[in-house]
Amino acid sequence: MQKTFNTANLASEVVARCQRLAQFSEDANGTRRTFLSPPMRDCHAEIAKWLKAVGAEVSVDAAGNLRGYYPGVRRPGPRLLLGSHLDTVPNAGAYDGVLGVVVGVALLEALEGRRLPFAIEVIGFSEEEGIRFGTPFIGSRALVGSLDAELLSCRDKNGVSVEKAIEEFGLRPAEIPRAALREDCLGYIEFHIEQGPVLEKLGCQLAAVDAIVGQNRLEFSFSGHANHAGTTPMHLRNDALAGAAEWVVGVESLAQHSPGLVATVGFIEAKPGATNVIAGEARATLDLRHASDSARLQAVEELTRAAESIAVKRGLSLRSRTLLQQRAVTMDPFLVDQIAQAIRKAGCKPQRMASGAGHDAMILAEKVPAAMIFLRTPGGISHDPAESVHLQDVASAVECGVHLLEQLAWSQEFLTRTQRG
């Protein structure tokens, strides 16, 4: 494959497109695009135009994933997946998730009509963040066959279920099994911003991700007794919010004293939520991550016991439920090696690192070889409007991607792979 494309031009187009997609939002003064919300339809239409312009066949599967199929030299034949997610957190930046989809489109453009021994399918996953329904990876779970009835029954704050949201988008939940990966899938590659400060501190543009840490997401509900804030003596209170607050401090303390563990209480809600009323109920989420599954699960048990102990001491009742339990995932060694080679060919240091954030790649890895390429995140800022990328890093990522496609096109080991599981 000859390098006839202009990486600087393609990189500029990638950045402009990401900023364009950031305008498709549920909020007037910021970017928020959740699972199958109206702006997702606009996002699909924009990306579909770019995909069709390079000869890709575009469709939306029953889980709301946008899929662009660029044929290989023969049909039917094997395919390589490139992609990331199109949904965002509230008040998001312009690059988390979307960048991986737009880079996938740029790589098709760099081929300039050439066909490879495998087809390329660019996928924009409908949901990864877990914002609307409290459960992440709805899009990629459909591809591995784990978008089940329980998940489809989850409801958003307006009482709309996942299944109903799919129907309201004009899709058919009964056709979700047709979204599953086929035996012809050779692997999955995801370009993504790092969302942290590591690469910037190392002075590296790109990294080959060799593992994704495991994570647990839970919800704890402390229940006490609501009462008048002025007439109830302190020693006669069953303050649910005070109990939750004590537990939150314990979460932070455990993480600070447990190497490799990160723990976050990112949401807390008190009811009835009035200034002059003692909280009768407090609900809090817990996000726990560690590269060691055993260390992570031990922390879950310890913090659950701590919550139970606090509840007993304060005369509260406690309920907890698991929202997500995801084991640590090792990326495919062959693909990681190939990515490291491609990074070197792009003129960058072939850094390898683990991802502290969860990604669709960890879900796809259940069925097919998967790997990721991280781009440096200036300031380590993500999930915020200040999220950014360096134009040269994007150019290097596109060049890395083209080298990677060329390497895989010539690799007999890669071309003879079939779907696992």
Interval 233-246: pLDDT, tens? 999 999 999 999 99
Confidence of residue 46 (pLDDT cuts 50, 70, 90): very high
**Which pLDDT value is given to residue 87?**
98
| Mean pLDDT, all residues of the chain | 95
**Residue 66, strand partner residues:** 60, 124
User: Which pLDDT does position 5 carry in this prediction?
Assistant: 65
Percent of the chain with pLDDT over 70: 98
Dump pLDDT digits (tens) for 371-393: 999 999 999 999 999 999 999 99
Residues near 295 by beta carbon (within 8 Å), at least 6 away in sequence: 258, 260, 261
pLDDT digits (tens, 9 = 90+) for 288-298: 999 889 999 99
- CA-nearest of 161, 95, 88 to 125 is 88
Can you give the pLDDT at residue 417? 75
Confidence of residue 1 (pLDDT cuts 50, 70, 90): very low
Whole-angstrom distance, CA of residue 353 vs CA of residue 195: 13
Task: Give percent of the chain above pLDDT 90.
Answer: 91
Per residue, what are the HEC states of 136-167? Answer: CCHHHHHHHCCCCHHHHCCECCCCCEHHHHHH
Higher pLDDT pick, 356 / 387: 387
The one-character DSSP state at 325 is E
Structural domains for the chain: 7-213+328-415 (3.40.630.10), 214-326 (3.30.70.360)
CB atoms within 10 A of CB 376: 27
List beta partners, residue 355.
212
pLDDT in tens, 56-74: 999 999 999 999 999 999 8
In this prediction, residue 416 carries a pLDDT of 87
Q: Are 222 and 240 in contact (CB under 8 A)?
A: yes
pLDDT score, position 8? 87
Distance CA 271, CA 186 (A): 50
- C-alpha to C-alpha distance for 122 and 107, rounded to whole angstroms: 10
* CA–CA separation, 37 and 26 (whole Å): 7
Is the pLDDT at 421 greater than 60? The verdict is: no
The per-residue pLDDT for 379 is 97
Instruction: Please report which helix (H) or strand (E) contains residue 250, including its range.
Output: helix 240-256
Q: How confident is the model over 49-60, as a mean pLDDT? A: 98
The pLDDT value given to residue 4: 54
Distance from C-alpha of 367 to C-alpha of 405, rounded to nearest angstrom: 21
Helix (H) or strand (E) holding 199: helix 198-202
> How confident is residue 420, by pLDDT bands cut at 50, 70 and 90?
very low
- Which pLDDT band holds residue 2 (cuts at 50, 70, 90)? very low
Q: How confident is the model at residue 7 (pLDDT cuts 50, 70, 90)?
A: confident
Q: Characterize the bridge pairing of strands 227-228 and 57-60.
A: unpaired
What tens digit of pLDDT does each residue of 124-140 get?
A: 999 999 999 988 999 99
Is the pLDDT confidence value at 174 over 60? yes
pLDDT of residue 23: 97
Average pLDDT of the segment spanning 331-347 = 97
pLDDT of residue 326: 83
Residue pLDDT, tens place only, 318-337? 999 998 888 999 999 999 99
CA-based R_g, the chain, Å: 23
First-to-final CA distance of the chain: 33
Looking at residue 419, its pLDDT comes to: 45
Q: Is residue 418 predicted with pLDDT exceeding 80?
A: no
Q: Check pLDDT > 60 for residue 3.
A: no
Determine the 3-state secondary structure of 31 from DSSP: strand
The arithmetic mean of pLDDT across residues 6-27, rounded, is: 96
